[in-house]
Amino acid sequence: MAITHNLGFPRIGSQRELKFALEDYWQERSDETALIEVGQQLRKKHWDLQSNSGLKWVPVGDFSYYDQVLDTSILLGAIPDRFRHNQSESELAEYFRIARGRAPGCCSSHAGEMTKWFDSNYHYIVPELNRQTSFSLHADKLLNEIAEAKAQGLNYKPVILGPLSFLWLSKVTDDTDKLALLAQLIPVYGRLISQLADIGVDWLQIDEPILGLDLPQSWRTAFEQTYHQLQTRRLKVLIAIYFGPLKENLGVATQLPVDGLHIDAVRGGDEVNMIIDKLSPYKVLSLGVIDGRNIWRNDLSKTLDWLEPIHQKLGERLWLAPSCSLLHVPVDLAEEAELDSEIRSWLAFAVQKLEELSVLAMALELGRESVRALLVVSDQALASRKSSVRVNNENVKNRVASIDDSLLSRKSNYQNRQRVQASCLNLPLFPTTTIGSFPQTAEIRKLRLAHRKGNISSAQYDSFLKEEIKTAVALQESIGIDVLVHGEAERNDMVEYFGEQLAGYCFTRYGWVQSYGSRCVKPPIIYGDVQRRQPMTVQWSEYAQSLTGKPMKGMLSGPITMLQWSFVRDDQSRETTAKQIGLALRDEVNDLETAGIGIIQVDEPALREGLPLRRADWPAYLAWSIDAFRLSTSGVSDEIQIHTHMCYAEFNDIIEAIGKLDADVITIETSRSQMELLDAFVDYRYPNDIGPGVYDIHSPNIPTVNQMTELMNKALQYLPKERLWVNPDCGLKTRQWDEVKLALVNMVQAASVLREQAELV
């Protein structure tokens, strides 16, 4: 049978076992031993699932307690100095202190910076390097997991992040050239490869996803030099590249002195024949033919039409795999007993994707007749999806077709709007606000579940939510926050909540995907044309505003975030789907204005995430994504102040595009980077108001007044005081109330200090 393998598997567990084990450990309800045991159990279970699907090679080393890039930093000894001072703490405690700024029983530290993993919604901890960085090998975690796999009797394939990709994804804290650090990094990788060979490893997967990016010539040259130095006959090396085509890096990739090459044939299938022509006859070619980034069933018959001639040419040199790690999809569709049966027939989660892989391999080896029944089921599901009336809505299609420039611009420019809004809102210098959500307590989750199960009535649930909103409003007023939020107690997730109220969306019960650490999201599935059925947030915003004389923000998730953080239909362009969502949100924004809400925030944290990996593709994406946002927000009068929020991404390359969104106020994450993200404003004069975050909400540490004031003083080096807001980095949903109250009191006090400083100037 054709050889099948996997690049990586979801690690959180089908019931989020890892999430709950992590949070128990962080809250000191359990200890390291209990957490490590859960990790061992999950690895064993996931290896069994993969092995039983027929994989020849099961990945080992893809499991992480927080993040695989942070694991690589630990593997290479690349630990920032500020985390080295506590010699008594365990390795795991040190690990979590880097990730979160704190670990049980340890002192707090400034956590490692977090940003998006390529164009996905997964966040990684950015390695910090400088000229003093000294690499050293610390391979115990990987070696221990290999020992576990051996004891389980698996055919295993260790997985590591490659040296060039590690450096590219890192940040330097001085003027060091990252590539200059490669010379001392290569010997560490060489020692690791030698150790793996010593214990009998046959194949090693080295991930070098940056070969799918635009690379300077110096980096392309470095690939050949690096892998010549790492070349060995003691084990075989498979270089894995995913998330896009190789393009100008094709020659570099195919000529590397390694034993095999994995490419993403979902996003880069057009290059396969060129790769085959250039690939040495002794090398394996692994084709990622199953989409590891989305949940739609594979068209097995069409895939076989394409694969069969390749298999005839390559024979045993052809390996089959998902396009990338299955980290980005839920674990098992079999858990979804409540999902509509027709829609369910269109889907494949991680376990099902490996089953599809097995069908393809068997068909190539034994002929299509050997899997005829399975191919018929696949064909029928695809035909059902294509013809289903629930997918296509002519009214929505006609509305998108009628979009013109008049729908994409506010009535007046920002300067005129600012004067009108200043008169209406009467806000102080350095106005304070939060991003939107407040802690989702155990009681909120309990009542939400009870309501979903029918154990309490809608009236009882609504009464409970109103009390939560009343408490949140009263707290903000007592602290002295200037622009309030209602706290979003009614929302399970910033995308799922809206998707549940839009036609064209459906939802799973257990379709969890890791976003970072213990943070899991359950992306909605966009299967059809999107339309708003009825107002989604108006009653809660209107109620919250009735409780206070201060401005109350209406809170919405933006069209690109709704797109990016969902599993999106693949039968029409993402642009079309984004504009459908934009029109639905436009209706909601207009209704909020009618309800008397004077500030409306349309969050777009995923705008940068959706940016194509290749610069040549940026203009088209930015054009339609900006249009989708402006479509959502441009129907209101000048008096309405539009806010947006973005977090955990590099904005420098798209700062002008962000300006074109024409939001009156933008709030962004800047505290983990110590305001470094504001470097973008040196060369580009951002025209509107901005709130650079001063409170890292992904860490349990409570920032002091002085720390927040210092950050804002850094911001004042970039922006005038008249256009600066004071706010946290992101929503406060994942934090505890005791942390939040203290932090917000400090934040308001910091704003007061800033106002006093401004009066002295």
Name the burial class of residue 705, with classes exposed (0-12), middle (13-18) and buried (19+) by CB atoms within 10 angstroms of its CB.
middle
Cα 755 from Cα 415, distance rounded (Å): 23
Query: Strand 284-290 and strand 318-322: pairing?
Result: parallel
Coil, strand, or helix at residue 254?
helix
Q: Pick from 581, 580, 562: which is nearest to 521 by CA?
A: 562
Tokens of 5: 């393998």
Known catalytic residue at 645: no
Name the burial class of residue 454, with classes exposed (0-12), middle (13-18) and buried (19+) by CB atoms within 10 angstroms of its CB.
exposed
Coil, strand, or helix at residue 405?
helix
Rg (CA), the chain: 26
Coil, strand, or helix at residue 751?
helix
Tokens of 298: 């594979």
Element counts in the chain: helices (H) and strands (E)? 27, 22
Q: What are the residues whose beta carbons fall under 8 Å from the beta carbon of 740, sequence distance 6 or more?
A: 438, 439, 732
Question: Given the structure tokens 């051996």, which residue do they identify?
Answer: 150
Widest CA span in the chain? 84
Q: Are 192 and 136 in contact (CB under 8 A)?
A: no
Tell me the sheet residues that pair with 288.
264, 321
Q: What are the residues whose beta carbons fall under 8 Å from the beta carbon of 496, sequence distance 6 or more?
A: 507, 522, 523, 524
Query: Strand 123-125 and strand 114-116: pairing?
Result: antiparallel
Q: What are the residues whose beta carbons fall under 8 Å from the beta carbon of 277, sequence distance 6 or more?
A: none
Question: Given the structure tokens 């991404």, which residue do they identify?
Answer: 649
Quote the DSSP letter at residue 484.
B
Query: Which of these is catalytic: 5, 46, 262, 698?
Result: 698
- What are the residue numbers of the active site? 698
